[in-house]
């Protein structure tokens, strides 16, 4: 689920800021309520949130957090595959590339987290703040995953 800010004219004719919710294709995975693996997954299942059709702000917050978690899983899988690909080469060039990857990933995580804190601060203290933060985390994480997958494809085909 992606969230976009939009401006529109309300019934009173005043320009208002609204939040448009756009379901994303990235988080096709739904919580597994039969065997929840994480605290977030347990919470979603216990509160009976339907992430296919979230209704309340709490639902939106939970579902955005779930999508961020799914994105993070996908990122970790791509990162591990790329590191494995570098280690498999077993030469100095790929050891150096692996070191660059690790260092860039650590820097990227710091960037992602602080960037998304900044984005979410638009609604500091509001009920939509967790949703904006999680949505940002999910979107930025998916972008990074795509970068890593492109690099993995390149390494596997050359």
Number of domains into which the chain is organized: 1
- Do the beta carbons of residue 144 and residue 71 sit within 8 Å? no
Q: Structural domain of residue 32, as residue ranges?
A: 2-157
1-7 contacts at long range (C-beta below 8 A, 24 or more positions apart): 1/27, 1/51, 1/54, 1/60, 1/63, 1/64, 1/67, 1/135, 2/135, 2/138, 2/139, 3/64, 3/131, 3/132, 3/135, 5/122
Of 106 and 9, the structure prediction assigns the larger pLDDT to 106
Q: What is the pLDDT of residues 8-56, one digit of tens each?
A: 333 333 333 344 344 444 446 878 888 888 888 888 888 888 888 999 9
How confident is the model at residue 36, as a pLDDT? 84
Instruction: Quote the distance between the C-alpha of residue 87 and its chain's center.
Output: 27
> What percent of the chain shows pLDDT beyond 70?
82
DSSP code for 16: E
- In the block, which residue shows the tokens 């998304």? 116
Asked if the model's pLDDT at residue 112 lies above 60, the reply is yes
Query: The CATH number of the domain where 118 resides is what?
Result: 1.20.1270.180
- In the block, which residue shows the tokens 């756009």? 22
Of 132 and 18, the structure prediction assigns the larger pLDDT to 132
- Do the beta carbons of residue 35 and residue 54 sit within 8 Å? no
How confident is the model at residue 3, as a pLDDT? 46
């Amino acid at each position: 689920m992606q969230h976009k800010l939009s401006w529109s004219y309300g019934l009173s004719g005043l320009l208002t800021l609204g939040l448009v919710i756009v379901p994303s294709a990235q988080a096709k995975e739904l919580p597994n309520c039969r065997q929840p693996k994480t605290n977030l997954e347990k919470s979603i299942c216990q509160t009976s949130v339907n992430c296919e059709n979230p209704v309340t702000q709490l639902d939106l917050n939970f579902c955005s957090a779930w999508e961020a978690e799914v994105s993070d899983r996908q990122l970790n899988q791509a990162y591990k595959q790329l590191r494995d690909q570098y280690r498999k080469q077993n030469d100095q060039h790929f050891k150096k590339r692996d070191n660059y990857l690790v260092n860039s990933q650590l820097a990227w995580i710091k960037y992602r987290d602080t960037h998304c804190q900044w984005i979410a601060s638009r609604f500091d203290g509001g009920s939509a703040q967790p949703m904006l933060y999680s949505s940002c985390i999910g979107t930025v994480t998916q972008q990074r995953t795509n970068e890593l997958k492109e690099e993995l494809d390149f390494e596997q085909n050359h």
